Amino acid sequence: MAGVCCGLVNESETSTACVQSSRAARRRRMEIRRFKFVTGVATPEQESTSTDQKRQKLEGYCTAPFSRDCEKAVQTSFTDDEKKENERPETKEISNSNDGCASTSVSSEYPKFGVASLCGRRRDMEDAVAIHPSFSSHGHNSTTKLHYFGVYDGHGCSHVATKCREKLHELVKEELLLLETQEEEWKGVMERSFYRMDKEVNAWNETVLGAKCRCELQSPECDAVGSTAVVAIVTPNKIIVANCGDSRAVLCRNGKPVPLSSDHKPDRPDELKRIQAAGGRVIYWDGPRVLGVLAMSRAIGDNYLKPYVSCEPEVTITDRTAEDDCLILASDGLWDVISNETACGVARMCLRGKAHAPPCSPPGAEVAVSETSDKACSDASMLLTKLALARHSSDNVSVVVVDLRRTRNH
């Protein structure tokens, strides 16, 4: 018993020993932690290098997509150079009289518009946009100005869409000049212009290999390249829309969407019938496609798919009314994820954002609407493109918003 009892201690001694032992262990753990932490700290020079590397990575992550997507993406009405180039003597006097008291009309000045075009999640930007205010006069009254707006959505490469942007409005102008002494025939004018554009593109494709073009790696003759085209010509009283492909034009009238074009999809009943009558087939490969290749049934270019893919546009002529808010032209990158109703609601919200002057504003302050609506149109177009990306649109997105409101004093 003595041998056993000699190893016993009382409770106070046990408590003291445990406390001392736990404190010592805690000190040792803290010393180890401090040691490990100190050895992991970089020197000031290393820390600076690490911070710079992190900043570079952060900047590359944050700015690269935006610089790729948004560089030159927004256009507000027109630049000073474009204004001087397009300005006519009869419009110059009116454009300089923005004192809020001048009696001006839509027919004698430039329309307000906004443009946004984003590459989005695609590797390359294949959309193109054409804006030509007062690009032509028509009829016996030379003061009647026509305003041209176009959106072209290329596929296979961008050079057909680019060619349409550079040339199609000139072809329309030439066709209009031929009708100067005849009755207005918009359908024939637009159809002939599109046919001529298609012919020029196919002829130009034979020499495009001389240019630095990505499609030269895909097709020696560039036959597999094309573009949709939705074109709107705005006159004082009418809106003429010619559409070839799945880009779309929508009129916002009193807050409600009015489609001015119909998408040319291969499974559209009349398009399907036309393709089959020409000897072609529509194959479902990630959606309906002409011969299992092209997801639209009409386009400019695509020579290898003719006659199944037609360049003939569908033309609509719409009378303008006092209830018209705006016109929206956009590539299918927008319409794939956003409905006509939503697009009109967003555009109208932006346009109405500055439509109401403060209660204490002097009489005539509502004229500011016409002076600032270009900013509102740009906000609308950019907001629509961002909304399309937020809804995971996988295509290029190009949007044109034209202000059609009659807010001038007469």
User: Which of 181-195, 233-247, 277-291 has the weakest average pLDDT?
Assistant: 181-195
Work out the pLDDT band at 136, boundaries 50, 70, 90.
confident
Dump strand ranges (E) for 82-182. Answer: 113-118, 127-137, 145-155
Q: What is the mean pLDDT of residues 170-186?
A: 78
Give Dmax (Cα) for the chain: 134
Predicted local distance difference test score (pLDDT) of residue 82: 44
Tokens for 378? 């740009």
User: What is the DSSP secondary structure assignment for residue 156, as one 8-state letter?
Assistant: S
How many Å apart are CA 40 and CA 28, to the nearest integer?
Answer: 19
**Better-scored residue on pLDDT, 144 or 76:** 144
Percentage of the chain modeled with pLDDT above 70 = 60
User: For residue 141, what pLDDT is reported?
Assistant: 52
**Spatial strand order in the sheet of 74-76:** 74-76, 113-118, 397-403, 324-330, 248-253, 256-259
Band of residue 59 on the pLDDT scale cut at 50, 70, 90: very low
pLDDT for 206 equals 62
Q: Is the pLDDT score of 69 beyond 70?
A: no
Q: Which of 91-95, 123-127, 315-319, 356-360 has the lowest mean pLDDT?
A: 91-95
The C-alpha atoms of residue 184 and residue 205 are separated, in whole angstroms, by 33
Over range 383-399, report the average pLDDT: 96
Q: What is the pLDDT of residues 139-163, one digit of tens each?
A: 545 667 899 999 999 999 999 999 9
Residue 323 neighbours by CB under 8 Å, 6+ apart: 253, 254
At residue 25, does pLDDT exceed 50? yes
388 vs 394: CA distance, rounded Å: 9
Q: Which amino acid is present at 398? A: S
* Model pLDDT, residue 231: 98
Q: What is the pLDDT of residue 229?
A: 98
- Render pLDDT for 324-378 as a digit per residue (tens, 0 to 9): 999 999 999 999 999 999 999 999 999 988 544 344 433 433 333 334 448 899 9
Band of pLDDT at residue 73, cut at 50, 70 and 90: low
Q: How confident is the model at residue 46 (pLDDT cuts 50, 70, 90)?
A: very low
Render pLDDT for 242-292 as a digit per residue (tens, 0 to 9): 999 999 999 999 999 999 999 999 999 999 999 999 999 999 999 999 999
Domain residue extents for the chain: 103-260+314-359+372-403
Tell me how far apart the alpha carbons of residues 24 and 18 are, in angstroms, rounded to a whole number.
10
How far, in Å, CA of 347 to CA of 379, rounded?
8
Among 135, 152, 98, residue whose Cα is nearest residue 373: 98
What would the CATH number be for the domain defined by 103-260+314-359+372-403?
Answer: 3.60.40.10
Smallest Cα–Cα separation from 228: which of 129, 133, 326?
129
pLDDT of residue 83: 45
Q: How confident is the model at residue 135 (pLDDT cuts 50, 70, 90)?
A: confident
pTM score > 0.85 for this model? no
Q: Summarize the confidence of residues 169-189 as an average pLDDT.
A: 81
Question: Which of 60-64, 126-130, 160-164 is predicted with the least confidence, judged by mean pLDDT?
Answer: 60-64
Most confident of 174-188, 352-366, 385-399: 385-399
Bridge-partner residues for 256, per DSSP? 253
Contact 379, 114 (CB under 8 A): yes
